[in-house]
Chains A and B, each alone.
Chain A
Amino acid sequence: MCLGIPGQISAITDTTRHLAKVNVGGVLREVNIACIAEDGADPQALIGAWVLVHVGFAMSRIDEDEAKRTLQILDELGELQAEHQAMQTSGARA
């Protein structure tokens, strides 16, 4: 359910109707940005932002720092596993 895909806003096409062009892997599609536009803020500031697109609507901004944090947790987990394994191997030799 609920297919959503990350894309990057490349232009604001209609300020009053909250429309913007979003780029997904080089394919462009006009999407509605009413759900991510902040009241009173200049929509031009959204250019370059990464958003999650569902049925032609940008439903959420993607938080780059959180994405990095998620991946970092996995990197750390990997290092931990490697250390653990190294310890086990050296333990076995001793």
Chain B
Amino acid sequence: MKFVDEFRDSEKAQVLRQAIHQVARELEPRLARPWQIMEFCGGHTHTIFRYGIEQMLPDCIEMVHGPGCPVCVLPMGRVDDCVTIAENPAVIFTTFGDAMRVPGSQKSLLQARAEGADIRMVYSPMDALSLAKKHPEREVVFFALGFETTMPSTALTVLQAEREGIKNFSLFCNHISTAPTIQAVLDEPDLMLDGFLAPGHVAMVIGLEPFQFIARDYRKPLTITGFEPLDILQALWMLLQQLAENRCSVENQYTRVVQAQGNAAALKAIHQVFETRDFFELRGLGSIDHSGVGMRPEYAAFDAEQKFKVKNLTITDPQDCQCGAVIKGLIKPWECQIFGKRCTPENPMGALMVSSEGACAAYYNHGYGRDAA
């Protein structure tokens, strides 16, 4: 497969590995602890585990797996709202597959489906709109979640529904914004992070500018990073070079896809349909100012939150969960007191065990720390 196989080449991986080890030798004596690099995005976490990238890195470089997995950070109260909407007999509730397993306070969407709710997995919000056209007598709700990468697709689907005059389609909007979420991590007083691998597909939509504050105000260098294993190694190499040379800027490794200004058509659609919320809760991180978007009043007719008078419950995570500390890199997943004991992928207690992209689930599924647990 073009643009995939070339970026999984093992010879080039060895070249990068050597280059990374070389820079790391320079960096190692400068800090008493390992250098901590956060990959923000769950997609990067997935690639890192899938290709065994952590084993290729020197000991003085430590990856911290950030909160950029929208399925993981979905608060339980919102899942409960989903279940309530989905259990309405007039509704066909449509969702991406990986959101189905996320536990609410009572049940997940998978369990609600087993109990009879009409919940359907779709690949694209467009498919949900097609279902609405096919079932004019039902209300089709699409569970919109994800960072800026996914926002254009749901916004464009709403605009398409408006153009076609489709009245039985709405979004349950749970989109979240990248910059405020990273900022919440950066504002952690005990933070030890030294740099970021930033999400390439978010940057493809919003461009480089929204990431500048990280380098400018927080003095942390970052690399906009693609999703193939060579992308990750190359981005890491670029980042370590910045650290070694005491530079601090936003660099773009993923130039084949990301343009500095982002995607104008996508941004236009986002701004037309969505507006920033005052605050939004993220599981494991708590309430964060301006971290979510909701639908503009002009599109109230397509807003499931309005159509179904969603309660917007806040349900706190179980007390023993230490997801927040893991996300910020303060502890390793297996250092959490319930990791692998009461919290497993079969029965997740905390946000990070929920999706295979969550840091804890990734560690658990790949055997790390399990013997210790």
Contact = CB atoms under 8 A, between A and B. Distances in A.
A59 B227 contact: no
B147 A2 contact: yes
Given A59-B201, A59-B266, A63-B255, A34 B11 contact: no
A10 interface: no
A59 B43 contact: no
A66 B152 contact: no
B6 A6 contact: no
Contacts of B12: 71, 74-75, 78
A1 B156 contact: no
A46 to B, nearest CB: 13
Contacts of B201: 1-2, 4, 52, 54, 59
A6 to B, nearest CB: 4
A78 B16 CA distance: 8
Nearest to A6: B3
B1 A2 contact: no
B365 interface: no
Interface string B153-184: 10010001000000000000000000000000
B263 A59 contact: yes
B150 A2 contact: yes
A55 B156 contact: no
Contacts of B70: 1
A74 B16 contact: yes
B31 interface: no
Interface in B125-159: 125-127, 146-147, 149-150, 152-153, 156
Contacts of B16: 74, 77
Contacts of B147: 1-2
B357 A34 contact: no
B15 interface: yes
Contacts of A5: 4
Contacts of B265: 34-37
A55 B152 CA distance: 10
B19 A55 contact: no
Contacts of A74: 12, 15-16, 230, 234
Interface centre among B69, B201, B257, B269 (most CB of A within 10 A): B257
B181 to A, nearest CB: 11
Given A56-B153, A59-B263, A78 B15 contact: yes
Nearest to A77: B15
A32 B156 contact: yes
B41 interface: yes
Nearest to B357: A1
Residue with the greatest number of chain A CB neighbours at <10 A, chosen from B19, B70, B124, B199:
B124
Given A54-B150, A57-B153, A60-B259, 7 more contacts: A2-B41, A35-B152, A50-B2, A56-B125, A62-B257, A71-B7, A81-B18
25 contacts: A1-B43, A1-B147, A2-B149, A3-B43, A4-B204, A24-B1, A32-B153, A35-B152, A35-B263, A35-B265, A35-B266, A36-B265, A52-B201, A54-B153, A55-B96, A55-B153, A56-B127, A60-B257, A66-B255, A66-B256, A70-B256, A71-B7, A74-B15, A74-B234, A77-B16
Interface of A: 1-6, 8, 17, 24-25, 29-32, 34-37, 50, 52, 54-57, 59-60, 62-64, 66-67, 69-71, 73-75, 77-78, 81
